Amino acid sequence: MVPGWRRESVGSMQHAPEGSLPSCVTGMIVLLGVMAVDPAWAAVRVCSTDVTSEVTSAVRERDAKLAAIRDWTRKAKSVQIPHPSWRIASLKVVTCVPNDGHFDCVAYATACTIKQTPPRRPRKQSPQAVDT
């Protein structure tokens, strides 16, 4: 029998005296408190290079836009952006103009990627004490 527990049976359940917690619950609360002290790390979006697609043409505007975005992704990979994605790009613009029964489109965006650890920032230096 665990110290602090009283054997009172209501059906198949046992109850502790009022105001006391079972030791396993107390241990879990302490464990969660210790885990909350650690700093939380999150993935961050890191953007670097502006990329512009080639002019793409299609009969339907939607198809021309998709082709421009595919070309943008191909070009972003060629400039050494790991895992570029239009979805996470920054400053996205797709411009289309009608031209003799078809659409010409160009995609422009700043290529971004997701990093699991944030880039290191230089530490701020504390001001030097001035002796007078």
pLDDT by residue (tens digit) across 42-89? 778 888 889 999 999 999 999 999 999 999 999 998 887 778 889 999
Cα 89 versus chain centre, distance: 13
State the DSSP H helix or E strand holding residue 46, giving kind and residue range, or none if neither: strand 44-52
pTM for the whole structure: 0.57
State the DSSP H helix or E strand holding residue 94, giving kind and residue range, or none if neither: strand 90-99
pLDDT at 41: 60
Indicate the SS3 state at residue 10: strand
pLDDT-derived band of residue 115, with 50, 70 and 90 as boundaries? confident
